[in-house]
Structure 1
Amino acid sequence: MTTLVERHQAAEHDRRTRRRDTSVDRAEGWRRRAPLLPALIFTIIVTQVPFLFTLWYSTRSWNLLRTDGDVFVGLSNFGDIFADSTFRGAALNSILITLGCVAVAMVLGIFFAVLLDRKFVGRGVARTLLITPYLIMPVAGAMIWSISMLNPTYGLFNWTIGLIGLDPVDWTSTYPVVSILMALVWQWTPFMMLLVLAGLQAQPKDVLEAAAVDGAGWARTFVSITLPQLRRYIELGVLLGAIYVVNTFDQIYLMTAGGPGTASANLPFYIYQRAFLGFDVGQAAAMGVVVVIATIFIAMAALRLIFRSFDTKD
């Protein structure tokens, strides 16, 4: 009988100890999270609350030019935008601009990072000059490309091709998407270069020395050793670049205004046109919801690839 009582008391003591430890751990967890709560609340207010309003507006037929007011239409706005050929063209332009900019900027970023990883006289100056385009505001960069580089009358590009006898080209009218891509690649190449350069400087030197001792050339070493070790940095650059470039607005607004017609309009610019020029708040909100959902899926897929690469042993 005494043994049963002692066992019961011991079990009760263990339960109280576990409960007390759990309470202490929970209190400690809240103490660690408390400093982050204001930032979390602020993020929810400035991001999630507007998105909830956008979801609400996407179910309404609300055009500011109509006097019949605000009418609930369910999901019909989504059906209308997917049947809109201009929306499909803007979505295709968004894909082309994003993929083209990220791919070309990453290739150039790797090239410049490999050059800057070598020691040479003036490397600090060269690094500063190559980083500069990323530090320039997108509006200023777009104006530089539109006026100084691609202007059909006195632009630098037309002056250069004029030296070899070619006729001047109105770049932003004839090749609007290519013009936007050139400005975006110029702006985002330094970002990719910095990420890749960080990866190059973080790789172990003993591995490269062992490859050199084994007689591997520069190209074989780069393809077989350096490039696989840069995979995480390249994936991170592609993810961040895609998230930012897909929301491009400044270059399109200032360089081509989405034209000719809507030939160079992407989804953010077309949403702007429908909301602030066409005053169709319902369909503009539906387009915004589609863009946000598509961006979330793309980001989730890219993050899964990145986390998988971190879980893989080198």
Structure 2
Amino acid sequence: MTTPTATAATPSPGASSRAKAWALRAPLLPALIFMIVVTQLPFVATLVISLFDWNALYPDDRSFNGFGNFSTVLSDDALRSSVVTTAVLTASVVLISLVLGLAIALLLDRKFRGRGLVRTMMITPFLLVPVAAALMWKHVLYNPEYGLLNGMLVWLGDLLGFTPPQPDWISEMPLPAVAVSLIWQWTPFMTLILLAGLQSRPLEQYEAARLDGADNWQIFRHLTLPHLRRYLELGALLGSIYIVQNFDAVYTITRGGLDTANLPFAIYQEFYQAQEYGVASAAGVLVVIGSLIIAMFALRVVSSLFREEGSRA
């Protein structure tokens, strides 16, 4: 009678692949836990607060309100006005920044002496702290008494022999004043994205088009713009995500007055001035949901760009 020999148990291929996957993911777990604690838990807390009628001035009167705060946000005239202001500000800044960024990217794509220095200087506005940039525009450029804009008008008046106007830029055109400061800061970001797109275009098609007699406008319309479509979409989506949430420029330049209060500033007013924690949290949740929707489209554009670059490689 023979006895069976003991054989070592070998792990199944599925268990081996799972162990390998966990071995690769394990170093990322601390970062994932930190991200959840820092980002997701505060959002969950905000979502919970948005369901309560909660005014910090009357802490004993806190009560569950369901979706009543969301109805207040959508029906309140001031908050609805802030939504319109946010949409106008975002659309104008993104569109103008894209157009200017495209023009500058086309110029920087050409070879000339000092191109590296010019590119570095072009990035500088985007690297400034937003509050510092807004303060610069408010005091250095817009000030009606010693600002550079009115100083340039005086210089032109002396040069051409006329009495120039001295407008108070912020009080006479408040929303454009905020928009111009944001356009100045976000145009370099659009330039970088579009310049990267220009440098990835297939040059063989351009050489073939020139041999066929195409002029610069035809090449730009039929080759450059279609190639940059994904990059234009990416710039518009990323710019929209950040400008929708912009608070610094509005708060610093106009303090939300003169019909320039956007949704983030309205949330600040509800939370810190009116002490309406529930309404402010509901408005914040709506901003996050809108940003997530835009981010979803941005991620799709990014993934499509990676697929296109991978197919060319």
TM-score by length of 1: 0.89
How many residue pairs get aligned? The number is: 296
2:166 counterpart residue number: 168
Amino acid at match of 2:283: M
> Structure 1: how far apart are the matches of 2:120 and 2:192?
11
Work out which of the residue numbers 220, 226, 240 in structure 1 matches 2:238.
Answer: 240
> Structure 1: how far apart are the matches of 2:227 and 2:26?
38
2:115 counterpart residue number: 123
Q: Verify: 1:296 aligned to 2:284, yes or no.
A: no
1:46 counterpart residue number: 38
Q: Verify: 1:146 aligned to 2:138, yes or no.
A: yes
Work out which of the residue numbers 101, 111, 128 in structure 2 matches 1:109.
Answer: 101
> Structure 2: how far apart are the matches of 1:240 and 1:305?
10
Q: SS of the residue aligned with 1:241?
A: helix
Alpha-carbon shift at residue 176 of structure 1 (Å): 1.2
1:98 counterpart residue number: 90
Matches within 5 A, 1:184-223: 184-223=182-221
Q: CA RMSD in A?
A: 2.0
> Structure 2: how far apart are the matches of 1:241 and 1:53?
27
> Structure 1: how far apart are the matches of 2:242 and 2:43?
18
Alpha-carbon shift at residue 237 of structure 1 (Å): 1.3
Work out which of the residue numbers 26, 51, 56 in structure 2 matches 1:59.
Answer: 51
Q: SS of the residue aligned with 1:110?
A: helix
> CA-to-partner distance for each residue in 1:186-225, whole Å, 9 max, x for gaps?
0011111011111111112222111111111111111111
Alpha-carbon shift at residue 27 of structure 1 (Å): 0.9
Q: 8 Å contact 2:230–2:301 — kept in the other structure?
A: no
1:81 counterpart residue number: 73
> Structure 1: how far apart are the matches of 2:164 and 2:278?
48
Which blocks of at least 5 consecutive residues in structure 1 are unaligned? 1-15
Amino acid at match of 1:267: L
> CA-to-partner distance for each residue in 1:161-187, whole Å, 9 max, x for gaps?
343434221111221110111000000
Query: Residue 67 and residue 241 in structure 1: after superposition, are their counterparts in 2 closer, same or farther (change >3 A)?
Result: closer
2:282 counterpart residue number: 286
Q: Verify: 1:265 aligned to 2:257, yes or no.
A: no
Which blocks of at least 5 consecutive residues in structure 2 are unaligned? 1-8, 158-162
> Structure 1: how far apart are the matches of 2:223 and 2:196?
16
Q: 8 Å contact 1:63–1:279 — kept in the other structure?
A: yes
> Structure 1: how far apart are the matches of 2:59 and 2:207?
75
2:247 counterpart residue number: 249
Q: 8 Å contact 2:234–2:301 — kept in the other structure?
A: no
> CA-to-partner distance for each residue in 1:26-82, whole Å, 9 max, x for gaps?
111111111221111111111110011001111111111125332111111111121
User: Which one is further off, 231-240 or 279-288?
Assistant: 231-240
1:6 counterpart residue number: none
Q: 8 Å contact 1:173–1:259 — kept in the other structure?
A: no
User: Which one is further off, 192-201 or 295-304?
Assistant: 295-304
Give the fraction of aligned pairs with identical amino acids, expressed as a percent: 46
2:22 counterpart residue number: 30
1:11 counterpart residue number: none
> Structure 2: how far apart are the matches of 1:144 and 1:58?
36
Q: 8 Å contact 2:250–2:260 — kept in the other structure?
A: yes
Q: Verify: 1:277 aligned to 2:273, yes or no.
A: yes
User: Which one is further off, 48-57 or 209-218?
Assistant: 209-218
Q: SS of the residue aligned with 2:103?
A: helix
User: Which one is further off, 296-305 or 223-232?
Assistant: 296-305
